[in-house]
Amino acid sequence: MIDRDRLGALLRRERAAFADRNPRSAAEYARAGHLFGRVPMTWMNKNAAGFPLYLATARGATLTDVDGHEYVDLCLGDTAAMAGHAPAPVAAAVQARFADGACAMLPTPDAAWVGEELTRRFGVSEWSFALSATDANRWAIRLLRAVTGRPKILFNSYCYHGSVDESLIVTGGDGPRSRDGNVGAPCDVTLTSRVAEFNDLEGLARELAHGDVAAVVMEPALTNIGIVLPEPGYLDGVRELTRRHGTYLVNDETHTFSAGPGGATRRWGLRPDVVTIGKAIGGGIPAAAYGISREIAERAAGMRDLDLVDMGGVGGTLAGNALSVAAARATLEHVLTDEAFARMEALAVRFADGVQRVIDAHALPWSVSRLGARVEYRFANPAPRTGTESAANADPDLEDYLHVYLANRGILLTPFHNMALMSPDTTAQQVDLHETVFEAAVSELQRA
């Protein structure tokens, strides 16, 4: 059991130490009065210490802040830097491309290479680009509504697919409802969406039986409410049910890409109709993509009344720009390779084993889940089976304490998560340092 008074005192102590250690970051934050919420984007106020660290440099899996501290970066931009920060092949490709122009509204040969490579990795046959995973999902959703003529999209409760309006739905005792805090919803979310629990085929079948669901958009494992892994048979069941009900299946591989070179889709032999992906494929430059089956491409192309070219809702002047696509090519060709994933996964196993050792040594009721190069621990054992179960086990104070404690000793975890990701540059020493500091954080908490 966690002693809540002790936790509160330790959290206050660590926050005070953070403030003392980081005067320059504090001053930058204090003077950013013309930024909404004092930050470049309001989610940057999600930090355990009261103000964010300000970045100086990030290379490989090491980051420095403006106060001169060095960190082992296990956050890696919440997957945007899974390739490591500033990987040399991407830096070279981006510099060369930018010197010759980036945004000309004309294709470059890199795009066809990237499309072919994404098909080799993820199976689906035709690709289009976006600059964020949110936008890749948004466009996939529009397209699938158009070709099916059905109004609704189904999501798993406590999923996250970016700021996609349709996805902000959760199950609830009184039926489906909007996620708490949903900012400016355009309409009642139940008009556009249906929801099921992850790992619940009965619930999914019940929702799909309405016959109005264009697509199920899902992560093959939930990664934004801890990692919730699929139970045996669940993903096969999803595929079978979606086929039976004429509903398309979209795998959002933005985070589950950690499972391997072709994400969870290839690792687990999945057969989605659509794959969406963002963040890591650009190696640090905004890039995202959505791939569709030939059948969907042909259906869409055959619909003469769809405006796929001008103002019909197809968007993104900068989508597929030469710089973004050059970055994606360099990342996939030279950095996030099959060999790199093997190394990253071995480190993730080492990381997870270390966390488990600490949990066991202190007999904590916590669990560790791993998806390839990605590891997350949750304050529940056994590991939650659904998003709702996982949400119910959140402990914001405990999470903040561990985050600040680690940050004060040179280790960054992902805000919003207890997540650690391995890059091709992460080292065993970095992973072991985490275990030592994590053990110390837990020991202090447990001390009588």
Q: Given the rule CB under 6 A, which residues bind ligand PMP? A: 78, 132-134, 160-162, 219, 224, 252, 254-255, 278-279
Please identify which residue in the block is written with the tokens 């206050």: 12
The two three-digit tokens of residue 253, written as one number? 């591989």
- Closest CB to ligand PMP among 133 and 153? 133
- Closest CB to ligand PMP among 348 and 419? 419
Closest listed residue to residue 270, CA positions, set 216, 225, 224: 216
- Closest CB to ligand PMP among 73 and 78? 78
| Minimal distance, residue 324 CB to ligand PMP, in Å | 13
For 258-301, strand residue ranges (E) read: 274-277, 288-292
| Minimal distance, residue 64 CB to ligand PMP, in Å | 24
Q: CA end-to-end span of the chain, whole Å?
A: 12
| Minimal distance, residue 219 CB to ligand PMP, in Å | 5
DSSP string, 307-373: -SSSSSS---TTTT-HHHHHHHHHIIIIIS-HHHHHHHHHHHHHHHHHHHHHHHHTT-S-EEEEETT
Element of type H or E holding 156: strand 152-156
The two three-digit tokens of residue 117, written as one number? 């490579």
User: What are 376's strand-pairing partners?
Assistant: 369, 419
- Closest CB to ligand PMP among 219 and 376? 219
| Minimal distance, residue 191 CB to ligand PMP, in Å | 22
Question: What residue number has its CB nearest to ligand PMP?
Answer: 162
Cα separation, 360 vs 141, in Å, equals 44
| Minimal distance, residue 50 CB to ligand PMP, in Å | 23
- Closest CB to ligand PMP among 158 and 366? 158
| Minimal distance, residue 184 CB to ligand PMP, in Å | 17
Helix (H, G, I), strand (E, B) or coil at 415: coil
- Closest CB to ligand PMP among 25 and 132? 132
